[in-house]
Structure 1
Amino acid sequence: MDLPFMVTTMTRRGLLTPGQPIRIASQLNALRRWGWSLAGELRQAAARDPGRTAVVDEHGTELTYQELLDRAERMARSLRTAHGVQAGERIGVLCRNHHGLIETIVAATLLGVDAVLVNTGLSAAQLATVAEEQRLRVLVHDDEFTERVLGLPAELPRLDERAREEMVAGALPGELQPPERDGRIIVLTSGTTGTPKGARRPTPNGFGPLVSIIDRIPLHTRDRVMIAAPIFHTWGFAALQVCFALRATIVLHRRFDPAATLAALVAHRCDALFAVPVMVQRLMEVAPPWPRPQLKVVAVSGSALPGGLATRFMDVYGDVLYNLYGSTEVSWASIAGPAELRAAPTTAGRPPRGTLLRILDAEGRQVPDGQVGRIFVGNEMLFEGYTTGASRESRDGLLDTGDLGRLTPDGLLFVDGRADDMIVSGGENVFPSEVENLLAQLPQVREAAVIGVPDPEYGQRLAAFLALHAGETLDPEAVREYVRHYLARFAVPRDVVFVKYLPRNATGKVLARELRRYYG
């Protein structure tokens, strides 16, 4: 990434504004000594803006950047002295969005310890598998998960919320030095098909990754940002990194509730919201407050935007929606801004500066515009492999996303779905996402999912699962006729199943395996 572009972008977003020379010097020194780990980003923010509010959570806790750093350092010292945690080891973090989660992750990176961000939706059996596979030395968890962790080995220390506070309060004095190795963040893949794998996230090596994002998503220094997306997920964690870099004030709630979220956005005068698409969908199901949130940015990622949702949301809250397409493994691939979503509500946008995106066929050859192929991505933040030692297929430095998609002649990306979601029905390739997007536009439909199921005659067929708005009804044949009107014959779902809600994991992704249970 060229220097003039970086300087221009950082100036536009307020990162190069004048300040007290001694604080700027301390800020740069923090980055020089601690690098771009989460610990380094928090240290630079505390050096430049020590009295600025860093975190506000729903229980009234409000911490400045200096206070947050002090608490994280005390936690780090206690992890080392009380539990013997050393650089290179791993701790598990099973927490919802609150200041304790942030303190624990920062404490780990201060010590050069890897933090495994555990999905709060894992079952007790999945949690036990993760604890064993990741070789956890300590598990830090919220009180609500106490029963779920009871079955873990007795020799694994488990620290609940009271224990964490005691560790912060009772930490021995001492100064922390930069560790010999960076503490890695290990994000668990979404686990929609079974026990999730641990993916090692790289540490940024400069301003490049930040600039790539804030060039396309107009966040500014000292914004007030609500992170509704779970921080244990790649998108929520990325939001935390961006907020630290921008010295933003972060607003957190442990659980997402649409009415409470809207109230918090107004009460805290938030400039931005980080969410997953299903949260935006839920916001549209409650009456908007008055006065309405004065949002400048609503940034979503983690799953596809249902058809028509983007324009409906912007009709109410303004042209503030930004959709980032990416994954745990490739970080980001493309970003769609409001103008692109207005023109094409299901587009994934265009790659930001510094990102390469190619659509390749099965032999690795680039396909023509408009033709569906495998999406490969290259950028500064490709993951470092799974903790099992496995990785993903790469070609010429570009990593396979596992998705299928196509590019328009003017460079817009459209994602057709997971490569393993595509079905062959009667010899025809069918993409369930195309049918999902169409069904989501029916006014009676609250949410829709379409999957492939076995069929004795055609090999596979489509099954549509629809959750309707309260008081609404639909006839299965009317649904099929609606699809038949807009799409090819082979895209018409043979089965139409009405459900109260779609099963989702903690990051909002539909659990297809749960839907397949309807078929035994």
Structure 2
Amino acid sequence: MDLPFIVTTLTRRGLLTPGRPIRVASQLNALRRWGWSIAGELRQAAARDPDRVAVIDDQGNELTYAQLLDRCVGLARALRAGMGVQSGDRIGVLCRNHPGLIETLVATTLLGADAVLVNTGLSPAQLTTVAGEQRLRVLVHDDEFTERTLGLPAELQRLDERAREELIRTALPGDLPPPERDGRTIVLTSGTTGVPKGARRPIPTGFGPLVSIIDRIPLHARDRVMIAAPVFHTWGYAALQVCFALRATIVLHRRFDPAATLDALVEQRCRGLFAVPVMLQRMLELPAPDPRPPLKVVAVSGSALPGGLPAAFMGAYGDVLYNMYGSTEASWASIATPADLRTAPTTAGRPPYGTRLAILDDAGEPVPSGRVGRIFVGNEMLFEGYTSGADRERHDGLLNTGDLGRLNADGLLFVDGRADDMIVSGGENVFPAEVEQLLAQLPQVREAAVIGVADAEYGQRLAAFLALRPGETLDADAVREYVRHYLARFSVPRDVVFVNYLPRNATGKVLTRELRRHLG
């Protein structure tokens, strides 16, 4: 990435505005000593804007950047002195979105330990397996998860909210030097089909990753931003990194509630919102607040964006919607702007600056424009491999996302779904996501999911699961006829099941194993 582009983008987003010389010097020194880890990003923000509010929780409690850093340092010192945490250890973090999650992440990094972000939706059995596979030394958890931790090995130290607060309160004063090794953040894959794998996140080496994102998503220094996406997921964690870099004020709620979210966006005067698509769907089911929140950016990722959602949301809140396509392993691949989504509502957009994108066939050769192939991506933040030692397929510096997609003549990316979701029905390749997008556009449908199931005659067939809007009715034959009108016959779902809601994990992904139970 070239220096003029970096400087221009940082200037456009307000990060190169003049400041008090001593604070600017402290900010640069913090980055020099601590690098671009989550701890380094917090330290540079606290050095430049110590009195700016860093985080506001759902009770209205506020912490400035200076206060947040002091609490993080105190917790780090206490973890080392009281629990023996050393550089290279792994600390599990089983928390919802609140300041204590941030404090634990930063404290872990300050010690050179690795933070393992644990999905709050894991079952007790999955949690036990993750704790063993990730070799956790300490598990920091919210009080609501205490019962879920009872089956963990006795040697695994546990720290609930009260104990964590006591450690901070009684911590000895003083700062910490940079650790001997950089602590890594380990993000677990979604785990919708079994025990999730741990993916090691790299640490940025400069402004490049930040600039790639804020060039396309126009957040500015010192904005007020609500992070509704779970921080334990790659998207929520990336939002936290961006907000620290921008010295933003971050609004966090432990649980997503559409009404409470809308109220907070208005009350806290938020210009930005990080969410997953299903959250926007829930917000649209409520009347738009008056006055409306001063949103300039609503950035979503984590699951597919239903085709009808962009127009509906931008119709209610303006052209503020940005859709990032990426994964735990690849970070980001492309970003769709409001203009892109107005042109093509189902597009995943274009790769941002410094990102390479290719659609390859099974032999690793590029496919023509418009043809479906495997999506490969290259950027500065490709994961470093799984903690098990496994990796994903790579080709010429590009990582296989595991998805199938195509590029149109204008360079817009369209994602057809997971490669392992594609089915072969009667010898024809069928993409469930294409049918899903079509069904989601029916006015009676609140949300839709389409999956492949075994079929004795055709090998596989499609099954559609529909949750209808309140008061609406629809019959299975009408659904099939609707699909038959727009798509080939082999795309018509043989099974049409009406459900009250689609089961989802905390990041908004549909749990297909739960859907299959409806088929008997």
Smaller-chain TM-score range?
Answer: over 0.9
Deviations 1:215-251 (A, max 9, x none): 0000000000000000000000000000000000000
Written as runs of structure 1 = structure 2, the 5 A alignment for 1:36-435 is 36-435=36-435
Q: Distance in 2 between matches of 1:417 and 1:514?
A: 19
Shift of 1:307: 1.5
Paired AA for residue 84 in structure 1: G
Normalised TM-score (structure 2):
0.99
Shift of 1:179: 0.6
Q: Distance in 1 between matches of 2:482 and 2:341?
A: 24
Deviations 1:330-376 (A, max 9, x none): 00000000000001000000000000000000000000000000000
Q: Distance in 1 between matches of 2:289 and 2:325?
A: 29
Deviations 1:118-159 (A, max 9, x none): 000000000000000011010000010011011111111111
Shift of 1:60: 2.3
Shift of 1:450: 0.1
Q: Distance in 1 between matches of 2:168 and 2:124?
A: 28
Q: SS at the partner of 1:401?
A: strand
Other-structure match for 2:455? 455
Paired AA for residue 96 in structure 2: R
Shift of 1:410: 1.2
Deviations 1:291-325 (A, max 9, x none): 01110000000011012111110000000000000
Gapped regions of structure 2 (runs ≥ 5): none
Q: Distance in 2 between matches of 1:408 and 1:442?
A: 25
Normalised TM-score (structure 1):
0.99
Moved more, 260-269 or 151-160: 151-160
Paired AA for residue 236 in structure 1: G
- Which ranges of 4 or more aligned residues in structure 1 deviate by more than 4 Å? none
Written as runs of structure 1 = structure 2, the 5 A alignment for 1:429-448 is 429-448=429-448
Q: Distance in 1 between matches of 2:305 and 2:175?
A: 47
Q: Distance in 2 between matches of 1:46 and 1:107?
A: 15
Q: Distance in 2 between matches of 1:193 and 1:418?
A: 13
Moved more, 494-503 or 174-183: 174-183
Q: Distance in 2 between matches of 1:494 and 1:136?
A: 46
Gapped regions of structure 1 (runs ≥ 5): none
Q: SS at the partner of 1:205?
A: coil
Shift of 1:515: 1.1
Deviations 1:96-130 (A, max 9, x none): 00000000000000000000000000000000000
Amino-acid identity (%): 81
Paired AA for residue 27 in structure 1: Q
Q: Distance in 2 between matches of 1:175 and 1:270?
A: 33
Q: SS at the partner of 2:390?
A: coil
Moved more, 283-292 or 394-403: 283-292
Deviations 1:39-88 (A, max 9, x none): 00000000000000000001222000000000000000000000000001
Paired AA for residue 381 in structure 2: M
Q: Distance in 1 between matches of 2:517 and 2:385?
A: 32
Aligned length: 520
Shift of 1:174: 3.2
Q: Distance in 1 between matches of 2:138 and 2:519?
A: 41
Q: SS at the partner of 1:478?
A: helix
